[in-house]
Every structure is written in structure tokens, then in C-alpha cells.
Chain A
């Protein structure tokens, strides 16, 4: 079966090329599509199995990161998107895409409705930072994108990555439902416990990525599409690493899941 993936572009999204590359390398027929073209051809969404909202600075992150694109998607693409996810299809939001999904309510999507239940806001350092972080996928997490991934190193490149749940009850649900998909940890895998730079932004409970209760809708601040080659890793000149970057495994998981389940 051919797995079809769409990668959203336009309005300041800027990781669309490498996100397309990652999905294509993982085996999906992948098309980069401008939001306006998608709105004009909604059947493209119906045919797709995977939708990626890549990183970038959509609308300059003016007002707040991802806010204006989230607003536009909710108003113009809300119903088709809800249909897409209720069909069991996969969505990933990376960095700015994660911010968009959280602010339009597509994550954590605890009750299956587009309602904002958490946010991503300014790093505690109050500045944009580009550095590599260590991540751990907690045991029992439901995220299908992270199958067989326990630990992974990826780059972060954001100013507004501090995850804050709406209240303690939501945090509790995320934990209990296996929706906490990725946490920042120290180099040795010990909890970051909010300590910079291991937790680079002060995210509550060291949360770097979450998924919906089905595990098919996934958002994360780090960039898995930014680690496709061994030479992307900052320590590749010091250590022997596999030729294929570990970030690609995230996309392989999704394509494989779509092929088997959709």
C-alpha cells in the first residue's frame, strides 16, 4: 500500500523541505502543499494518511508562537482536520507545528474536541536557543511515532518551548493516559528536573512532546527531521554513530504504522 503524506507549507513555515525529505526517506509519497492550495483542494487531505505541520515562524510568531496559524487552521480547516484524525490518520507537529496544534486544541485533544488545554510559551531564559538535548520516551507512552524509541538526542531551536498544562488535572491525565511522549533528560538518562540546559526551556514535568489518547497525533519541540544524517549530530567527529540519523526512526514508525493500520 502507498502511504501518502502531506507537509504543510506557507506563511513562514520553514522546515518543510527537510520534513518532506524525512517522510519520503521513510517510504511515504510525500507532497509539500501550501495551506491555500490545501484549502482549495480538500480532497488532498482525504487521500493522505499522514499530515505534518513543520517547524518555522508561521506569521512571524506575532502575537504568540503559532497563534495566528492556529487561529487560521481552526477557522478554515477545523472540520476537515477533525475528520482526518477521527479516521485514525496520523498528524505530527514539530516545533512551530507543535505550538500551532496546542494552540488550536489538536493536542493534547484529551476529549477529542478542538479546545486549548495547554500552551507553549517563552523559555525561562526568555531567548531563542539552538542546542542538542537528550530525550526519553517514558515507558507506557502511547505514541505510535515513538515505537521502540527509548532515548534519542535531537536539536531544539525555539524561543517559546516551555510546555504548560492548563491545570494539574490535565497534567495528571496526560501522565495516566500515556500521553507524555517525550521528556528532557540529562546526558545519562537521569531526569532533567527542570535544570537548564538539560531541560532547555523550563517545561513543566520536563515535557518535550505529547500525543493524543490514541497516540497518533504527536507534537514535539525538538526536531527529528533535523537528525537524518550521522553528520548532523554535534558529536559525530568524536563518536561512531550509524550512518542514518536517529531522527528518521520517528518517521519510519509513522509510515510503517500507516501501512499496517490504515
Chain B
């Protein structure tokens, strides 16, 4: 086939914004000065087109005549020393290429032939760099070799090429053997474990033995003989079992029987962490919150929003893929969790995203271990992936955080959350009830199947190691998903399907396998599945985690209407088989039965894990060193404001669309200049209604090493006080727990597994205790338990981390309060007790100390405070309210003041903490800075009476923050100086 290469560049006389941005990036990230860069888009048309047709698409489709020039089979690079061209590897999602194909067809008014295609690549023409430097720029900045190919050419090379393609066409040529193999389990224990490892099954010995025993049973053998199946499992059966039984899908650690020895040496047995603590607290609280609708049973937790609407909430992690390919991993994280909400009940419309990332410092200057990327590159890539995934899907990002800790070098954490809304009744049925019926068709919609993401579920159930598969890395395609989501909500409202679920981890194997539980079986024909390219083995088709797919159960009477609507919406939908009540999951390929798995064994046959947890005695704490007689703490405050965990993340957040859908009430940045950090995101999601949703996050990994119980309690408290700060009342709050832990299973490679598991037990205890006190049911959650890096002698385990996402319902959004001080002459209060709790604080971290006294949560007194706070906010008595969090009281005072562009003069002597350093920088929980107009102070104080509420000063017209501590130390800073210190570190 003739290949036509079309290059498109900005006109030489115009500035090239992308080229300038690239020069800035090479300077900032690689410390390489590039004299000039031009970015050239390359479209390679692998299609039989006439010269006139090529000319038409070049001019009409690919070129913007106002600002661009273009050429066919001739390079536009000029005045350069080296070029780098970056394109995709075969099989990697090429979104621009695929859209271009649509554009070419529209322009020519005809369809291209099967096999014809358009491929996108990018040419960077660089001036002032030699080939070796260009190589570095390509490898360390522009291309990721797991998904992309690149070449570097000099001007001389280019002259020789004379317009010919630089890269090979990324056409998949590698074909798997499509024959189904049997896999003998007639092996000893060593052989079974070798098999598990070699096939990436990630199953342990007891699990391998359970499978071996199942296949050895006489009834299994007899049944298989009758069906014409081999006695040994087929490859597809073994793969289905491995992924269904993966830690990722079955949460084996959270369901294990744990023998736990606590810090006092007392031992007891825990009958499953999930059942005891997570479901336990939800059960206990459920009597007091009448709005739970569907918890733990669906893709997302579902609660009642108002009489006519339900609300669904879910958060996921995508850590392992983001470690290998930050952009694609994070993007598939966000669009993946969107599908969880789209697949909750009969389908929810996604109305917001949240994002929380954990990285090592972007200014890290140590060695980067093999296969890891520099944290700066990870941060940029993850952020861009979430940005593009959310923005292109039309879902606003309303809350999040970026957290830094050195041990996230081993694995970044990428938490993506989504909320959704649905009418309570859709297509005449309750929106939260769904079940496939025998006779319903199995229909797959959305994208096609490729080798992408094979073994994703098992991959994420392991540490990152040398053999971690590149196929686990994928790129999302938000537009294919957006088209599918629009279509599915239309089909939902027309009542065209009886069940829907996300085709996520484990692919069809997981979605069909789970959906087949209700009817009691399914029959699927894998040769009918639409493929991106030929050459996938049946097991690969069934397990592929190719993105942008949903699996449905469509009743026969609606099938034609459903498929016709899909056609009109240009969404692919394919019937793959039928649900039935056979008791087995049967797969066919070209008419031959290749898999028949007993549904009960598949879902219930997994042996329960038995684990041991034992809390190590902590090392004696080093003595706390506080500065001696420094009387001016202004410099210290400026320094803490600039700490990575405290400073502004505005430059990142502004790149997320946070207002699409038109429901925004409180945005991430607030105040006179819209640059003060808000506490909770607030939206009014139902048009015409004042009823609102507030959403917040809490995450405190820095306390984990000191006390995993308090790390968790603090995370819950942080999320709740963020909600309380805007006016949410306890009793309306639903919670989500996302655990990210280092491997907590004792083994030669994890000699401290018992301790890590004991920390997990402590975290669960805290979750139970605090949620019970605050009346918070946990409506959904997720755990990711293998967040370690292990290559050679290097092992990096993340600090145990829990993200707590909270959503609260507001009766009337007109009553919410923002964090910025509103006017001079208002009275400033500190709510909550300030204690000597410097352990894990930002102040000590800047001095390379950890400290001892980790902040403690006192849930009962905090509860009383939150109740009083919501009462004064509801009565309109509060002008501003801001939570005290990372960095302590000094930070909260500074942020409140500069956000409002209003000065503040306070004295901390009313607090019960005399030491000025501790008063300003201790990170005691459950505290707020509130300001109140003078005419409201009496009423405010009357309601607050009974909770710690300290009047510390007034706001002032003079743009200065003045703090006098009880011990005479002081802070005096101009608001601009505070704002600048806070904004500068990550103002990228």
C-alpha cells in the first residue's frame, strides 16, 4: 500500500507555543538548554488514495490555513540540528490517528478499505543540541519506550531520507497461537508455584492446590469427559480462575482470617477485616442514617440524594500502571472509575471527579532505581493523564490533593474518584436494582479488544519487578467512552437492558463471570468479539483489559432497538452470547467448547487466607529538638507555607475543568483573587434545586510510621472537618475508604509483613471507631495491597496510606461558607484544642525530624464541635471558616487572610498552648479558623459554648498578618509575602 506522509507545522513567522513549552521543559526537567524547538504533527496515511485525494485531506482536514503550513512526503523541519520523531508502538491506542481516519472519510465522502489507516506521530526539530543530547531528550522527556517508538536524526540523515518515513508503521504483526492449550497440574508444589509464576497467575500455593484438587475430583473429571474437554484445565480456564481469584478482584487480605497480636502482646483472631470493621461500622451506623440504598454490592456505593435522585460514589487507584506510564496509567485510572459509576445500578451519569496523587518530591536529586521514572516526570504525566481524561469526558474535577513523601518514589499513588447521579426510577424501574435474566443476551459495547492490559489484575497484585509486563500499560480513549456513556444513558432511560457492569480489571472474564452469578451461568462465543487486530488467543480475548468497554444483559425483546440505537450513535455493540442457568461459565471458540467452569467453584472455591499480624515494638523515639530562643517565627511560617505538602497546587488544578455541567458552588480556589485553598468542593447537581453535595478528602501518610491508627483517624477527621468547614452536618456524610499498603504478607522478601499487617488492623480499627462516632457509613472502597518496588537489592515500600473520601449532603447551598476572610473588623476564632502534637508535622519535616507525638483524634469532642459549627453556619453567623491541617494553625491563619486580601492581628494567649512554635505548627486535629462579623459574635459564642472556641483577635484593613504567641514569639508578615511563599514552590 502506498504510504503518504503529511507534515503540518506552525508558519515559520509565528511563535510555536508547543515548541517554546518544550524548551522550558528541557531546561527545567533536564537542565538542557535548547536554542529553539518546533513541533511538527505527522499524519501517516496508509491508504490507497489518489494524489488529488491526498491533497484534499492535507489542505482541508490536516492544515489550519490561518496559522499552519503543510507538505506531503517532504519534511518541514528547517533550521535545526537534530529531529526526534515519536510515534506509538504497534497495538497502542492512537486516538488522533483513529479520529483522523473519520476525518479523511468525511472529507473524501467514502469509507476507506479494511486495513487502511492513519497513524499519528510527532516530529520535534531542535536547534542547538547534538545527537547524544537529543537522545536524552527523547528518552527522558518525550517518549516512553513501553508504548512509544522514537528515532533521532541529524540534518544530514534527514537529507538522505528525503521525505521518507522515519518510523516503522505501528501495525500489529505479532500473532498469538490461537490454539487452546491444556495445562497439566500434575505437578508437585514446586512445580505448581513455578507454573503460577511463569504464567503470571499470581496465585499462592494453597490456591494452586485448590485448583489442582478441583480438577482431580471424580465428578469434575466425569463432567469434563462428557463435554469433550481435557481432564487438565485449558489455558483459558486457568487464566479465568487466576484473575477471578486475584487480590485485585477478591480482596483476599481483607477477607483473610488474621491472628493479631497487639502492642500489649495480646492475641486475638479477626474474622476478616472487611466484615469486622468496614461492613461492621456500616451495619452499626445504618440504623441512624436512613439514606443508604446499595452498599458494597455494586460497582459504586449508592445513597439517596433527594426524593427523586440517587447518588453513587466510587474511588479507585491506578498505581502500578501509573508507575510505568504515568500519562496512560492515570488516564485509564480516571476513565476507569468513571465506568464504575456508569456501571452502578442501571447506569449513573458522572457528575464530578476527585483526584489525589502521592509522589516523591519533584525536586528529588538522588539515584533513580531501574525501571522507575523521576518523580517530576511521574507528576507531570499523571496530572496530564487525569486532566485529559476528565476534561475530554466533560466531568468536572472538584476536589483533590497532591501529597509528597520520599517513599512514593517506589510507587506513586494515583487515586481517582467519581460521583454520579441518576433519577431514582429509570425506564420504569428502581435505578439501583439490576440482574441479568436467563435468556438475556451478553452484549459488549464501546471499544474493541486488543492485547492491551492483559494480566492487569494479576500485575497489580504483585510488586513492581523486572518482569512486569508492558502490555499492562494502556492509553485511554475518552471520546470513545463519552460516546458510549451518552448512548448507554439513553438506552437506560428507554429501559433497554436489565443489567450493566464495567468491563474493567479481568475484562470480559470478570464482567461476564460476575454478571452470570444472578442467572446462574452464561455461554459466550469469543470468536464473535470485535478485535483491534487479528491474532489474539481465546484466553487473551476473554481477559484483555482493553479500555472503554461495558458489558450488558439485554433482553431478547429489546435487542434490536438497543443495537439500532448503538448504530445511530456510532457506538460498537456486539452480541457475544447468552446468560443462562446452567451453573457453568461456558466459552466457545469457532463452535468448540474450550472452557466450562463451575460457577460455584469459580466464585466460592478460593481458599481463605490465614495471616499473622504482630505489631513491632516501636524504636525509642529520638528527642524532639525545637529551636531555642528564636523570637521571630515569621521565617519559619514562610518556610512551612512553602513546604510541598502545604503549598499551592493551583497551577495544576486550574488545568482541570472544574465547572462543566454548570453545577459549581464552591470551587477549589476561593477569595478575593480566587487563590485561597478551599476545604470542600460543593455542587448543586439537580437543576432548579438548592440541595447540594460537598465532597472532600483526607490523607495523612506522614503519620503512618508513627501510628497507623492515628494516621487513619486523622485522614477520616481531615475529610470530615473539610466538610464541616463549609457547613455540612454529621449524619449526612457517606465515606469511602481506599487503602494503599505495602505488601503485608510475611515472606522472605517481606520480612516485616506481620508488622505491616498489624498496621492494617490498626487502620481498620481506627476507621471503625471514628466513623462510628461521626455516624459515617462506608458505602464503597477499594484496596491496593502490593505497593512495593523490588528490583535487585533495592526495595522501596510506600508508607501505609489510606485515602478517605467523604461526601455530605447540604439542604441549601446558599448557606455554605468559604474559607476567605470577608472584611476588616471581623473577630477571629480558633475552634478546637491545640496540643503538643508535633509528630509527623511539616515543621519538623523541614528540620529532617519526625518527632514523637502524632496528632490524636478525639472523636466525641470533635463530634460535639462539628455539630455546633454546623449550627452556627446554618444560622448565617460565620463569615469564613477554614480547617487547620498540614502545617498547623499558622498556615490556616495565613491562608484565610491572604485569600480574603484582609489583614489579621491575633494573639494566641487564649489557647492552652504557651509554646509559640507548638501553637503555630502543631498539627492537632479537629480545628478551624473562623471569622465572625462583630454583630454576630454573641450569638456565635452562645452556640459554640461547650466546645473549645478561642477568640484570638480581629481582621484589619492593613494587609499584614500579625501573630503574638503566649511566650512572646511573634509573626509579622505582609500578605503578599505569605501568598508568594505559598504559591512559589509548585507554580509551574
Which residues of A are at the interface with B, using a C-beta cutoff of 8 A?
Answer: 9-12, 14-15, 17-18, 21, 34, 36-37, 40, 55-57, 59-64, 67-68, 71-72, 75-76, 103, 116-119, 121-132, 155, 157, 164-166, 223, 225-226, 228-229, 231-232, 234-235, 237-238
Cα distance, A116 to B175, chains bound together (Å): 46
> Which residue in B66, B100, B106, B667 is a CB contact (below 8 Å) of A119?
B66
Q: List 12 A-B contacts (CB under 8 A).
A: A9-B486, A11-B570, A15-B660, A36-B569, A60-B392, A68-B106, A71-B106, A119-B67, A121-B64, A164-B66, A237-B666, A238-B671
B21 within 8 A of A: yes
CA distance A166 to B208 in the complex (A): 69
By the criterion CB–CB under 8 Å, are B17 and A37 in contact?
no
Counting residue pairs across A and B whose Cβ atoms lie within 8 Å, the total is 174
Do residues B64 and A166 form an inter-chain contact, with CB atoms below 8 A? no
**Contact yes or no, A15 B394, CB < 8 A:** yes
A residues within 8 A CB of B671? 238
| Given A14-B394, A60-B96, A166-B66, 17 other A-B residues pairs in contact with their CB atoms under 8 A | A12-B479, A15-B394, A21-B662, A56-B394, A57-B482, A62-B95, A68-B61, A71-B106, A72-B102, A117-B66, A119-B64, A125-B17, A127-B655, A166-B65, A228-B662, A234-B670, A238-B818
Known A119-B66, A121-B67, A225-B662; judge A237-B816 contact (CB<8 A). Answer: yes
Residue in B62, B568, B684 whose CB lies within 8 Å of A63 = B62
The B37-80 residues at the A interface (CB cut-off 8 A) are: 41, 60-62, 64-67
Question: Does B391 reach chain A (CB closer than 8 Å)?
Answer: yes
Taking CB atoms, residues of chain B closer than 8 Å to A14 are: 393-394, 482, 660
- Residue from A21, A57, A76, A166 in contact with B394 in the complex, judged by beta carbons closer than 8 Å: A57
Residues of chain A within 8 A (CB-CB) of B820 are 237-238
B754 contacts the other chain (CB 8 A): no
The reply to whether A68 and B662 contact each other, CB–CB distance below 8 Å, is no
B392 close to A57 (CB less than 8 A) = yes
Contact of A130 among B67, B393, B657 (CB under 8 A): B657
Query: In whole angstroms, what is the CA distance A132 to B675 when docked?
Result: 12
Interface string of B656-672 (1 = CB under 8 A from A): 11111110111101111
CB pair B654–A130 under 8 Å, yes or no, is: yes
State which of A9, A21, A238 has its C-beta within 8 Å of the C-beta of B672. A238
- Chain B interface mostly helix, strand, loop or mixed? mixed
> Using a CB-CB cutoff of 8 Å, which residues 726-748 of chain B contact chain A?
none
Contact A116 B66 (CB under 8 A): yes
The residue from A57, A165, A231 contacting B665, defined by CB atoms under 8 A apart: A231
User: Closest chain B residue to A157 by CB distance?
Assistant: B657
Residues of B within 8 A of A124 (CB): 17
Shortest distance from the beta carbon of B652 to any chain A beta carbon, whole Å? 10
Contact partners of B486 in chain A: CB under 8 A: 9-10, 34
Chain B, interface size category, equals 35 or more
Return B691 CB to nearest CB of chain A, in Å.
12
Given contacts A57-B394, A128-B391, A232-B659, contact A72 B674 (CB under 8 A): no
CA distance A126 to B477 in the complex (A): 22
B141 shortest CB reach to chain A, Å: 15
- Chain B residues with Cβ below 8 Å from A125 are 17
> Do B21 and A237 touch across chains, with their CB atoms under 8 A apart?
no
Q: Is the CB of B654 within 8 A of A18?
A: no
CB of B790 within 8 Å of the partner chain: no
Max chain A C-beta neighbours (<10 A), residue from B20, B391, B656:
B391
Within 8 A of A (CB), among B639-688: 654-662, 664-667, 669-672, 674, 684, 687
B181 at the interface (CB under 8 A from A): no
Q: What chain A residues lie within 8 Å of B67 (beta carbons)?
A: 119, 121, 164
Residues of A within 8 A of B96 (CB): 60, 62-63
Q: B814 touching A131 by the CB < 8 A rule?
A: no
Given the known interface contacts A126-B20, A132-B674, A157-B660, the answer about A34 and B569 at a Cβ–Cβ threshold of 8 Å is: yes
Roughly how many angstroms separate A155 CA and B62 CA in the complex, as a whole number?
30
Cβ-defined contact, A226 with B814, below 8 A: no
| Least Cβ–Cβ distance between B820 and chain A, in angstroms | 7
B687 / chain A contacts, CB cutoff of 8 Å: 21
Choose one: A56, A63, A229; the contact of B61 (CB below 8 Å).
A63
Beta-carbon nearest neighbor of A121 in chain B: B67
